[in-house]
Structure 1
Amino acid sequence: MTQIIRTFAEISDRYDALFVDLWGCMHNGVDAFPEAVAAMQTYREGGGTVVLVTNSPKPRKGVEAQLAQFGVPQDAYDAIATSGDSARAAMFRGMVGQKVWFMGEPARDEGFFEPLEVIEDPVDIERVDLKEAEGIVCCGPFDPLADPEVNRPEFLYAKQKGLKLLCANPDIIVDRGDVREWCAGALARLYTEMGGESLYFGKPHPPIYDLAYRRLAALTSNVDRSRILCIGDGVHTDVMGAQGEDLDSLFITGGLAATDTATTDQPDKAALEAYLAREGVSTTYSIGRLR
């Protein structure tokens, strides 16, 4: 049974480091959440370490720039681990071949193809039409408002060719302000349901946590896993990821699950417990919003 708290300060002294989600926790895709920013600043002032762990397909530098645009200051976090960086490493190691069919918005996702200096002898990636491709790199839908089903014809062809799909963002949906959009995870889910093979690198899958641990180790040594808390608003990403890593979690109920948990300021206890049971997950703590 989850413990509902009113402020993060109630439990902050139990943890030396945080793995904090971004979208739905620190910002809404348009603006920062001032209370969440203040909570992270206060935690860091007290000696805690904040690693932002995001399913963004962007490289770390791209996320830093986006955070500044949204109004999340640098003193609210110590490091960033992105699904994009984890997936890029796999791509440059040749996991989906040299010639790839790219799904996403070129203007937004161009940074995904920037070279990674940490990879020895990287594959020279070439973006081609689907008929020439050896694999698929998916940073997101061509149209985030369109039903993923519009991609079924291309996916059927790709499946028949035996192409692997590299998913740079396992999120299914996200709320950009008041508008709900589809993410790369929705496309990867459809491809898998059709019999194709999808490769995931963000939450809840291990590769992004491996990257987050490395980011944390570069900042501070010997942090016991029992002293790391995961914070996020996605039960199938943040909460399940924490469970898989045997880490405690703080579920932000006022994000993607606000309706299911009857959250206005705080979640309704009965609705919250019913939702967690229905989704088959458990979380250490829950709160309406990070503050």
Structure 2
Amino acid sequence: MNGFPVLTPGLGSIAGEYDALICDVWGVVHDGVAAYPRAVEALTRFRKERGPVVLLSNAPRPPDGVAAILDKMGVSREAYDAIVTSGGAARRELIAQAQGKILKLHHIGPERDNPVYDGLDVALVGPDQAEIVLCTGLFDDDNETPADYAESLAVLREQGLTMICANPDMFAPRGGKLVHCAGGIAKAYENIGGDVIYYGKPKPPIYGDVLKYFSPESRVLVVGDALETDIAGANTMSLDALFVAHGLHKDELVDLTDAALAKLFGHHGLKARAALDILKW
């Protein structure tokens, strides 16, 4: 049952209460550069001893692209049954909007995210010709912030364009630092009156894509490190959550105690079943 989380030594201490797992990827299974071996071990063990594991990521790429990245990082496919991504959901939206025509699309994001629309009936155009905007991230997230996009967002707003945000995350850890994500640009666009459609956590529709992998009677646990997406999504869906503290919010939890967790969760108005420093069995 969710409340303010209490510290637990590992997933194994509560795994017996659940028979299905939804797990975040970035910040929990890897740091954007390398996999966390103990997290991979924990997921593999849960899958063998308890039930299916679905990785749910706000990555702005289709699931097969995320699987390829995990392969390169050494994340065994024995650790999960399926991958669901916000990029996959956004791609379905683009397919729907391109029905019977060539969709004029303005893309904000790096080339590595192009697979979200590769092979679809879209034409990449500038803001003055676009029918819709797709935001997958910053062009240079190592050096840019959403503030660098203020002028271009103003142009989009003037054109009255709707933005599809394929990654609602504001930040993500990469190799020990935080980088800005598409959610920050989308929020900036909303702040000037722009319309945004979000795909991914914490919005309920993405969970429908996940829950189809479980039986209706499954006792589901959500594992994640982001309060505004992973934990908020679990709360919205009335699912128990295991919070990974030394991920996105590690700087806010220098002293990892039950009291510190209660303060952080109380501030955000969120709940979780338990918490631990890193995902491990």
For Structure 1 versus Structure 2, the TM-score category normalised by the shorter chain is over 0.9
Is 1:228 equivalent to 2:233 in the alignment? no
Counterpart mapping for 1:190-205 below 5 A: 190-205=188-203
- Distance in 1, matches of 2:110 and 2:145, equals 16
Is 1:149 equivalent to 2:147 in the alignment? yes
Moved over 6 A (4+): none
Contact preservation (8 Å) 2:15, 2:50: no
Q: Which of these residues, 240, 244, 252, is aligned with residue 260 of structure 1?
A: 252
Aligned to 2:243: 251
Q: Which of these residues, 164, 167, 170, is aligned with residue 165 of structure 2?
A: 167
Contact preservation (8 Å) 1:260, 1:272: no
- Distance in 1, matches of 2:165 and 2:117, equals 14
Is 1:104 equivalent to 2:125 in the alignment? no
Is 1:237 equivalent to 2:229 in the alignment? yes
User: Quick check: 241-250 or 145-154, which moved more?
Assistant: 145-154
- Distance in 2, matches of 1:143 and 1:34, equals 29
SS in structure 1 at match of 2:105: strand
Is 1:78 equivalent to 2:78 in the alignment? no
SS in structure 2 at match of 1:181: strand
- Give ranges in structure 1 of 5+ residues lacking alignment: 116-122
SS in structure 1 at match of 2:40: helix
Counterpart mapping for 1:118-157 below 5 A: 124-144=121-141, 145-157=143-155
Aligned to 1:118: none
Q: What does the per-residue CA deviation read over 1:12-46, in whole Å, with 9 as the maximum and x for residues that have no partner?
A: 01111111000111111111111111111111111
Q: What does the per-residue CA deviation read over 1:121-177, in whole Å, with 9 as the maximum and x for residues that have no partner?
A: xx7221101111111001101121312111111111111221000000001011111
Q: State the percentage of identical aligned residues.
A: 36
Aligned to 2:32: 29
- Distance in 2, matches of 1:82 and 1:238, equals 13
TM-score (norm 1): 0.90
Contact preservation (8 Å) 2:16, 2:50: no
Aligned to 2:268: 279
Letter matched to residue 256 of structure 1: L
Q: Which of these residues, 7, 11, 31, is aligned with residue 14 of structure 2?
A: 11
Is 1:113 equivalent to 2:117 in the alignment? yes
Contact preservation (8 Å) 1:17, 1:223: no
- Distance in 2, matches of 1:209 and 1:23, equals 18
Contact preservation (8 Å) 2:223, 2:230: yes
Contact preservation (8 Å) 1:262, 1:268: no
Offset at residue 222 of structure 1 (A): 3.2
Contact preservation (8 Å) 2:222, 2:241: yes
Q: What does the per-residue CA deviation read over 1:74-95, in whole Å, with 9 as the maximum and x for residues that have no partner?
A: 0011100001001111111118
Q: Which of these residues, 267, 271, 277, is aligned with residue 288 of structure 1?
A: 277
- Distance in 2, matches of 1:147 and 1:109, equals 18
Contact preservation (8 Å) 1:27, 1:33: yes
- Distance in 2, matches of 1:270 and 1:14, equals 24
Offset at residue 194 of structure 1 (A): 1.0
Offset at residue 179 of structure 1 (A): 2.8
Contact preservation (8 Å) 2:128, 2:159: no
- Distance in 2, matches of 1:39 and 1:249, equals 16
Q: CA RMSD in A?
A: 1.6
Q: Give the count of matched residue pairs.
A: 274
Contact preservation (8 Å) 2:5, 2:272: yes
- Distance in 2, matches of 1:37 and 1:57, equals 22
Offset at residue 223 of structure 1 (A): 3.4
- Distance in 1, matches of 2:250 and 2:35, equals 18
- Distance in 2, matches of 1:206 and 1:98, equals 26
